[in-house]
DNA sequence: AGTCTTGTTCGACT
DNA sequence: CAGTCGAACAAGAC
């Protein structure tokens, strides 16, 4: 499940792949919905001939800035990018391929077909995404202001991309464990001390994820792999996520799994109150 | 072979 | 407007 650290890892690999200045010589759409609402023919026609200017990330989106348009790629659950040979047979779940002017092919594989490729004019603001938690903008006063005195559970708030961009189920559970806050705590009951701990824990768990090239939980095709096909190693560094029944690294109590806002949620019942 | 699980986004509803 | 809930998406595991 690519979240901010996994997407950041992919973006860094793409940045190191000598794509800047290369032209898109053509595109093939194997699963039309991936580029919806654009018609596949329109998408191909529009992107062909454009030059790659810049590769960046915003929240969980990979952004390829082209000379006219920007391509926003959201991998959702099982999306992956790979370079393949130009005459390769399609990957098992290949949905899109971009043919580059230097002969390489950037293939998009997505078992569950949930990922989306949005092609929008450069000047358009495509979506309201919240603050980037790894920038200097993410200050304690701003975080406090963002939280306000809402009467809502902290976990769903952190998963909402319009508040903070890039956190998903794994890193939210990890950040709440590190801050010793129960995922169902109402925001308005959080003390200043707890807010400070959470403000520190969010960038910490994300940086840690990036440092270990992301989290790859299993070995099947449903899991995260980088552009080079490499697994992340952050799964070995997790404290609570997918660790139900195992001891809490801090107090030794068994980690439990509950449901919060219809999401599997892992926590230590002693540390997180 | 049917049921469950999985995460994100969106739309309907309160 | 803010929050909650369920649907939809799709395939694989069991």
- Please write the tens of the pLDDT for every residue from A89-120: 888 899 999 999 999 999 999 998 999 999 99
Give per-residue burial for A196-229: e unless 16+ CB within 10 Å, then b.
Answer: ebbbebbeebbebbbebbbbbbeeeeebbbbbee
- Report the candidate in A55, A52, A48, A66 with the shortest Cα–Cα distance to residue A21: A52
A159 touches strand B (CB under 7 A): yes
Residue A79 pLDDT level (bands cut at 50, 70, 90) = very high
User: For residue A151, how many C-alpha atoms fall within 13 Å in the half-sphere facing its CB?
Assistant: 0
Q: How far is the CA of A161 from the C1' of C13 (A)?
A: 30
Q: How far is the CA of A141 from the C1' of C12 (A)?
A: 45
pLDDT of residue A228: 86
**Residues 28-47 of chain A sitting with CB below 7 angstroms of strand C:** 33
Nucleotide nearest to A77 (CA to C1'): B7
Taking residues A212-233, report their average pLDDT. Answer: 87
Does A3 participate in catalysis according to the annotation? Answer: yes
Does A5 participate in catalysis according to the annotation? Answer: no
- The Cα A44–Cα A48 span in angstroms is 6
Task: Name the average pLDDT for chain A.
Answer: 91
Does A60 participate in catalysis according to the annotation? Answer: yes
Whole-prediction pTM: 0.95
Which chain C positions have some atom within 7 A of a protein CB? 2-7, 9-13
Residue A30 pLDDT level (bands cut at 50, 70, 90) = very high
The CA-based diameter of chain A, rounded to the nearest angstrom, is: 59
Residues 6+ apart with CB under 8 A from A36: A116
Q: How far is the CA of A36 from the C1' of C14 (A)?
A: 33
- Report the candidate in A119, A120, A122 with the shortest Cα–Cα distance to residue A35: A119
Would you state the structure tokens that stand for residue A224, as one six-digit string?
């995260």
**Residues 42-71 of chain A sitting with CB below 7 angstroms of strand B:** 60
H-run or E-run covering A143: helix A140-147
What percent of chain A lies above the pLDDT cut of 90? 74
Which chain B positions have some atom within 7 A of a protein CB? 5-9
Write down the catalytic residue from A12, A58, A200, A263. Answer: A263
| Cα A15 to the center of its chain, rounded Å | 17
Taking residues A23-28, report their average pLDDT. Answer: 95
Per-residue pLDDT of A170-222, as tens digits, reads 999 999 999 999 999 999 999 999 999 999 999 999 999 999 999 888 878 88
**Residues 167-196 of chain A sitting with CB below 7 angstroms of strand B:** 168-170
Taking residues A48-66, report their average pLDDT. Answer: 95
Is a pLDDT exceeding 80 seen at residue A127?
Answer: no
What percent of chain A lies above the pLDDT cut of 70? 99
Residue A155 pLDDT level (bands cut at 50, 70, 90) = very high
What distances in angstroms separate CA A210 from CA A35, A171, A206, A232, one per listed residue?
A: 28, 11, 6, 9
Q: How far is the CA of A230 from the C1' of C1 (A)?
A: 44
Write down the catalytic residue from A57, A60, A80, A97. Answer: A60
- In the DSSP assignment, the letter for residue A57 is E
SS3 content of chain A, % helix, strand, coil (to 5): 25, 25, 50
Is a pLDDT exceeding 90 seen at residue A229?
Answer: no
A74 touches strand C (CB under 7 A): no
């Amino acid at each position: 499940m690519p979240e901010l650290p996994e997407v950041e890892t992919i973006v860094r690999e793409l940045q190191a792949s000598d794509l800047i200045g290369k032209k898109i010589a053509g595109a093939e759409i194997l699963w039309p919905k991936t580029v919806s609402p654009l018609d596949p023919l329109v998408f191909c026609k529009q992107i062909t001939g454009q030059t790659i200017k810049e590769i960046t990330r915003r929240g969980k989106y990979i952004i390829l800035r082209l000379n006219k348009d920007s391509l926003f790629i959201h991998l959702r659950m099982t999306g992956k990018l790979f370079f393949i040979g130009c005459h390769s047979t399609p990957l098992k779940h290949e949905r899109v391929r971009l043919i580059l002017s230097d002969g390489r092919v950037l293939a998009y594989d997505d078992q569950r077909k949930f990922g989306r490729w949005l092609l929008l004019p450069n000047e358009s603001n495509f979506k309201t995404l919240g603050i980037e938690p790894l920038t200097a903008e993410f200050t304690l006063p701003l975080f406090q202001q963002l939280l306000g005195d809402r009467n809502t559970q902290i976990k769903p708030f952190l998963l909402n991309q319009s508040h903070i961009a890039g956190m998903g189920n794994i890193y939210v559970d990890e950040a709440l464990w590190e801050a010793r806050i129960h995922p169902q705590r109402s925001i308005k009951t959080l003390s200043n001390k707890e807010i400070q701990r959470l403000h520190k824990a969010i960038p910490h768990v994300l940086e840690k994820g990036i440092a270990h090239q992301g989290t790859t939980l299993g070995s099947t095709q449903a899991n995260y792999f980088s552009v080079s096909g490499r697994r992340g190693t952050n799964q070995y560094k997790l404290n609570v996520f997918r660790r139900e029944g195992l001891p809490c690294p801090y107090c030794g109590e068994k980690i439990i799994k509950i449901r919060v806002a219809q999401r599997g949620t892992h926590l230590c019942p002693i540390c997180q109150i």
